[in-house]
Amino acid sequence: MHFFRTIPLLLIVIIHTTCATTQNFVTPHIAPRSQGVNLARHSVGWVHETHRYDRNSFYGSLSIIPEYTRSFNAHHLAKCLFGASLGSCNTINVSGSQVQGRGERDWLADYFYLPTDFQSTLHFKPVIDNFIIDANLYFGLEEWAKGLYCIIYFPIVHSRWNLNFCEKVQNSGVNDYAPGYVTSSPNGVPRNELLKDVSQFMSGKTIFPSDNDTNVLFEPLTKALMLPEKHIRTRIADVRVSFGWDAVNNACGRFGFYFQIAAPTGNKPEGRVLFESIVGNGHHWELGGGISGNWNFWYSADEKHSCELYFDATVTHFLTNEQVSTFDIQGKPLSRYMLAEKMTAHTHDLKVGDTADDAQVPQFQFNNELSPVANVTTFPVHVKIAAQADIICILNYAHTCWNVDIGYNFWARSCEKIEPVTRFEPVVNHFWALKGDAQVFGFDRGVDGTGPIIETVALSATESNATIHQGTNNTPSDQPPTNPGIDSPALAFVSSNNPFTDNDPLNSVPNGNALAQINSSIIPHILKADDIELVGTSGRSSKFFMHIHYQIPQRTSGWIPFIGFGGEVEFAHNAKNECSQAACITCEQPCLPCAVSQWGIWIKGGASF
């Protein structure tokens, strides 16, 4: 009886832990219901082929089910991926920092190695479709014990994931990168050496400025790529085996329970692609069990017509598995597409303060490397899931050799619990910080700041408050870029052993007749483990399905063939608004409800013996 008390408790946990605050999170990846978890597809057409009360010896049934499924409601999938950035018609606007009247939800084009006056619109219509061949085997083990049985599920899946990502450029931009914005060159980076559009950046392209004396490295995006083509995988989803016993089984009905194990044969997330194809359950082992039964509640007087109610409920636990995911910075959805600057603790020629006399050497300094944040925040994690439930109820009508099944299926999976394999600490080997729209170099032009360039000095400027939408300087194009909005800003000076240049102010521009002294951060903000948002996903859905099948009455070598067809429509219960914290059993880790709405059609054929 303890087992039967556990099932409803687990269902309560599953239902409640799928609730979470969704306004400030986006999913690291779409983790769908496994293509092999489908009690509807497995059960239809088998109501009278399995669990035979009139058999006393070994018997069985084999079914092969080709099915095609396709997702719908692309907006829900896009919302999971892009959150509040998503505009009408599943679009995101991208604009440079010098574009007048930028939208508050626009992505900053500067992060994508694009001009500061660039403008474009990104379009998304994510679609998932699957070609499935599901082989099911049922064995009645009556010779060993009355009511004993074994079922094996073996689905082969060809899965295609298409983000349907395209871009419409409104203004390709003409602005060069200003001197000191990304390189020490007094000429900056000309427009023709920057990328053409966002699509180039998202597919892994980068820039190689010709005038780059300090050899600043511009890392391409290598994780969470947005690709224009489909991402395709073909694998066995997962091999499931159920061992059960029908405690009650007679002409009026049946009731029993079973143990289930699922072996991981699909793939696990790798973090390279944003909309990454997943076959199976994320490569987890599953352990669990369930209860099943049926009730023959009506027979016609001539016994040619009958109605039967069938139910099945499975609850499994996902064992811990290692996978790779891309995460954002806390409170900054999609910060994975911002730029991070590499810092060094070996500072030279730089000090920061209100005056030259009280200036101090900062702890960190720009180290001539820029990288998309995703490259830094993609790492291995341990993932486990407390419980998954798959529950069906089927009404079966039978007339001689014809059967009709109509049913409802509820599926739910509790939130992923995520822990880094090794504690994520960029400070162990490298130091990274958010660049935002900060200048990363200053120019020594003498005491009055108006002479020729004597030296170019890397700064310690960081912008921990920058977001995917904007930096914190927001300097107008007609003003010198002096870094007023960086972390703990103070004036930057030269610190050297040369008495002729020591304490010289660092200018924000390489030429001109006036001093425009640049700021740098006294205390740069370096990314640490606690800054990473480890977001898990959960899911719930309701499915309605129907199946019609025909059992061929003639026996051929002891086999009884059957054939049928059917279909299903599944509706995801994705949260539209912020949930109440009181509705959550645990809020230790952010959790985003994100299931897939989809429809499917199948043909189910086989034979019993």
Three-state SS for 238? Answer: strand
Tokens 């109501």 correspond to what residue?
47
Does residue 464 form part of some domain? no
Kindly tell me if the per-residue pLDDT of 135 is higher than 80: yes
Tokens 């409640």 correspond to what residue?
16
The dihedrals phi and psi of 565, each to the nearest 5 degrees, come to -145, 155
Q: What is the 3-state secondary structure (H, E, C) of 293-305?
A: EEEEEEECCCCCE
Give the integer Cα–Cα distance in Å for 172 and 153.
53
- Banded model confidence at residue 576, pLDDT cuts 50, 70, 90: low
Q: Is the pTM of this model over 0.85?
A: yes
- Over residues 528-542, the mean pLDDT reads 92
Does residue 146 form part of some domain? yes
Does residue 265 form part of some domain? yes
Pull the structure tokens for residue 341.
């600057």
What CATH number should be reported for the domain holding residue 306?
A: 2.40.160.40
CA distances (Å), origin 365, targets 361, 394, 443, 461, 492: 9, 66, 15, 8, 12
Give the integer Cα–Cα distance in Å for 552 and 307.
20
Kindly tell me if the per-residue pLDDT of 349 is higher than 80: yes
Kindly tell me if the per-residue pLDDT of 215 is higher than 50: yes
Does residue 109 form part of some domain? no
Does residue 43 form part of some domain? yes
The pLDDT score that the predictor gives to residue 583 is 35
- Over residues 378-400, the mean pLDDT reads 95
At residue 50's C-alpha, the angle toward residues 391 and 245, to 5°, is 70
Across the chain, mean pLDDT equals 90
Does residue 563 form part of some domain? yes
Non-local (6+) Cβ contacts of 189 within 8 A are 176, 177, 181, 182, 183, 207, 209, 211
Instruction: Indicate the number of domains in the chain.
Output: 1
Does residue 398 form part of some domain? yes
Instruction: Select from 318, 271, 32 the least CA-distant residue to 159.
Output: 32
Does residue 284 form part of some domain? yes
The pLDDT score that the predictor gives to residue 424 is 59
DSSP letter string over 202-222? HTT-----S--TT--EEPPP-
**Up-side HSE of residue 395: CA atoms within 13 Å toward CB?**
5
Q: Which amino acid is at 207?
A: I
| Domain carrying residue 278 | 2-74+124-165+229-318+384-413+538-608
